[in-house]
Amino acid sequence: MDKHLPRRQLRFFCALKTRSGFVILGCLLLFLPAAAQYKLNGYLSAQYENGQKESDFPEGTFGRVRAGLLFSGLAADIFTYDLEVRFKSESRLEIEEAWVGIAPSQSFELKLGFYLVPFGKYNTANRPYENPFIQTPLPQAALYPESWRDVGVLVDGKWGSMGYSVYLGNGLGEGRDLQDSQQFKDNNGDPAAGGRIFFTLSQGFEVGVSYYRGHYDDAGQRKLELRGADITWKSEAILLTYEYGKANLANPEGYERGAAEGHFVLASLTLGEFSPLVSYQTLVYNDPFHGEDPQDPLALVGIAKDISRWAVGLVFSPAPNFMFKVEYDFNKEAAVKLDNDIFLAQVSLLF
């Protein structure tokens, strides 16, 4: 969405977008019975956040209520479809995914439409019931937009122990930072491309690499490149996850290149209905061109971040589709002492 649209046009666009989501939902519900096979699932979550005086929530607040409906199916044994509608707040409805596909075999499925970008593991599995953490890890929160989506074509499949995804889409645009770069139209006429390949080396052990490349400015002259790697080992009781991401941004003449790099490590142990966990996360983000001055939103003042976080938490899951989570984040910034640690609690349900 163009952030410079007049306020009246913004309200009209948001209302139109919400109505469009309900129209798609209604049409799908109308025609679902005619499909050969389909599934309908949903999820709900709500949380509480309370932090130290320099955090985003120094007074404590209930919020971040989220809900989603997921429709997926198979028609004529070859055609696939998927629609996910997500309420991202108490008043904001968005389409998370909406695509149709053709799947002649397990090794090849072609999808056309609106998809979650397969970069790393977290972006395509960021729903509350899919991961034990509440707060988005530092690298995933900074290197690309929340729930990074694109419009285009995606092909994925699996051969034996190898799986892959490749895509061509409109790509990311230019914003205050990488988190602010989500767009759904092509701003420069130059499609972006990327993909992820992974190998299941043994039961529960997976290694993957990701890549993305595209021009992000309106003139189509400056390149954005993202690289990632992920490792997961999961047994009946233990979960170990590592994700790495790096971004390189070409800036206008006279400015040095922008770069961001982050690491995320998670360890979790399941003891009956309880799963204690710990995570260490880092992010180094330097960009002399982008950034925002709080006093002047139109001013680009550069980005210089060197952040680390220790996070500890506990997940209580008395039923397979129910999770109650608590988490405490110890945040630290290089050369700056801030009282910005935060406590979070969340309940989530899949139905």
Give tens-digit pLDDT for 17-59.
Answer: 444 444 444 444 444 444 458 899 999 999 999 999 999 899 9
CATH number at residue 228: 2.40.160.10
Q: How many CB atoms lie within 10 A of CB 161?
A: 11
Q: Choose the weakest-confidence range: 83-87, 219-223, 290-294.
A: 290-294
Q: What is the pLDDT of residues 221-263, one digit of tens each?
A: 999 999 999 999 999 999 999 999 999 999 999 999 999 999 9
| Confidence (pTM) | 0.86
Q: What is the pLDDT of residue 329?
A: 98
- Report if residue 197 sits inside a domain: yes
Q: What is the pLDDT of residue 296?
A: 67
Q: What is the pLDDT of residue 9?
A: 37
Flag whether pLDDT at 11 surpasses 90: no
| Per-residue burial over 197-208, b = 16 or more CB atoms within 10 Å of its CB, e = otherwise | ebebeeeeebeb
- Report if residue 293 sits inside a domain: yes
Q: Read off φ and ψ for residue 183, nearest 5 degrees.
A: -150, 160
Bigger pLDDT: 274 vs 65: 274
Pairing mode of beta strands 162-169, 149-159: antiparallel
Q: What is the pLDDT of residue 15?
A: 40
pLDDT category at 2 given cuts 50, 70, 90 is: very low
Q: What is the pLDDT of residue 203?
A: 86
Distance CA 274, CA 109 (A): 38
Q: What is the pLDDT of residue 3?
A: 41
- Report if residue 2 sits inside a domain: no
Q: What is the mean pLDDT of the chain?
A: 89
Domain that holds residue 329: 7-350
Distance CA 91, CA 114 (A): 22
How many structural domains is the chain composed of?
1
- Report if residue 1 sits inside a domain: no
Distance CA 171, CA 181 (A): 9
- Report if residue 304 sits inside a domain: yes
Q: Token pair of 111, please? A: 């999808």
Q: Read off φ and ψ for residue 247, nearest 5 degrees.
A: -125, 140
- Report if residue 117 sits inside a domain: yes
- Report if residue 77 sits inside a domain: yes
Flag whether pLDDT at 141 surpasses 70: yes
- Report if residue 249 sits inside a domain: yes
